[in-house]
Amino acid sequence: MYDSFIDQLNGLDLSGLSIRPAPFNETDFPCEDAIEQTLAAVWSDLFAMFSDTALEADAEDIAWGMVNLFHRAASRKSAQLDRASDEIRVLLASADGSEVHSSNLEEQVERAQAAEASMLAFEQMREAAAALYRDETGSSWKPVSGSRTSHSRNLTSTVIDARDFLRARAENRRHALIPEGTPIVFAGGRQSFENAEDARVYADNIWATLDKVRDAVPDLFLVHGGDGKGADRLAASWAERREVQQLTYSLDRRLGARAGFKRNEQMLSLNPRYVVAFPGNGVTERLVIDAKTRRITVVDRRTVTSGSKTKG
């Protein structure tokens, strides 16, 4: 869980320009129970409507779009926060000590506080919807591009200095994009199976392996390629269910055949505690070799196939 910029101001010198407390509190936003109950009801009705109709195959896309509605709303509020922060910088640079200038600065900080509070609320709604999406589809929800970041929901009113606000905002954004804990790299390819039972056993093996790794490294965050199918998808679903942070490295298609090997280098540069390897292609094999060369422990599950065949 990430701290809000307000939380990070604890212990800072708050002397200087005083900003009025934000004109809202916790009760001005939907509570967690209301969010979860309302979204669960809407979700249930949505899938019931599509069930046993010609549109049933499209239900997952519609569900993804519902989560994306909250994600986009949070992104818009984040953009408003950025604009307010820019205005604060301009005002600080042109400070003249006048009452009008101070009033304008207070107004911008108040606007920034309101934008962040709304952003946090929409992020909470997105996470609730993403959990429903995961339960319905078995997949971890992620946006088409960019990151799915979450911040602390515990926002309290206080009196802050405008410069402290800007420092906290920048620090908070960095923290939101940097997972905390010990990196564990996961790798594996797409598989084909002779029957559903083999597929289930394969998925269970991935989850059981990651559970054991988590027992050994409780503060882990999972690093993987972010493939929407195959082993990466199963690992992402595990992380979503276990509330484990994820860091994904998508292929840089501009690199052509080197893309997978470049990604290996990037993931290993994190100096992970373990590399967990399931059956894959030559890129996975090279990852294992390079990890061993760096004396990184490999949890090797490449022989756990359960009748599967690697694609590609």
Residues 190 and 167 in one domain: no
Collect all residues with Cβ–Cβ distance below 8 Å to 237 and sequence separation of at least 6: 134, 138, 139, 140
Residues 279 and 197 in one domain: yes
* pLDDT of 276 above 50: yes
* pLDDT of 72 above 90: yes
Residues 139 and 65 in one domain: yes
Give the C-alpha separation, 39 to 57, whole Å. Answer: 21
**C-alpha angle with apex 228: 189 to 279, nearest 5 degrees?**
10
Confidence of residue 250 (pLDDT cuts 50, 70, 90): confident
Q: Which residue has the higher pLDDT, 311 or 13?
A: 311
* pLDDT of 96 above 80: no
Residues 110 and 220 in one domain: no
Given 127, 145, 176, the domain boundary residue is 176
What is the CATH classification number for the domain harbouring 289? 3.40.50.450
* pLDDT of 258 above 80: yes
Q: Which residue has the higher pLDDT, 118 or 87?
A: 118
Residues 147 and 252 in one domain: no
Q: Which residue has the higher pLDDT, 307 or 176?
A: 176
Instruction: Give residue-wise pLDDT tens across range 134-162.
Output: 888 888 888 887 778 776 544 332 334 55
Residues 52 and 170 in one domain: yes
Residues 218 and 233 in one domain: yes
Q: Which of 1, 14, 8 is nearest to 161 (CA)?
A: 14
Q: Which of 146, 145, 144, 134 is nearest to 239 (CA)?
A: 134
Residues 265 and 230 in one domain: yes
Domain that holds residue 271: 182-310
Residues 171 and 85 in one domain: yes
* pLDDT of 2 above 70: no
Q: How confident is the model at residue 144, as a pLDDT?
A: 83
Look up the pTM and report it: 0.59
Q: Which residue has the higher pLDDT, 1 or 269?
A: 269
Residues 13 and 151 in one domain: yes
Q: Which residue has the higher pLDDT, 250 or 146?
A: 250
Confidence of residue 173 (pLDDT cuts 50, 70, 90): low
Q: Which among 23-27, 81-85, 190-194, 233-237 has the top mean pLDDT?
A: 233-237
Residues 99 and 226 in one domain: no
Residues 70 and 122 in one domain: yes
Given 131, 150, 176, the domain boundary residue is 176
Tell me the pLDDT of the chain averaged across its residues: 81
Angle between helices 162-176 and 59-93 (to 10 degrees): 150
Given 176, 209, 243, the domain boundary residue is 176
- Cβ atoms of residues 126 and 39 within 8 Å: no
Report how many domains make up the chain: 2
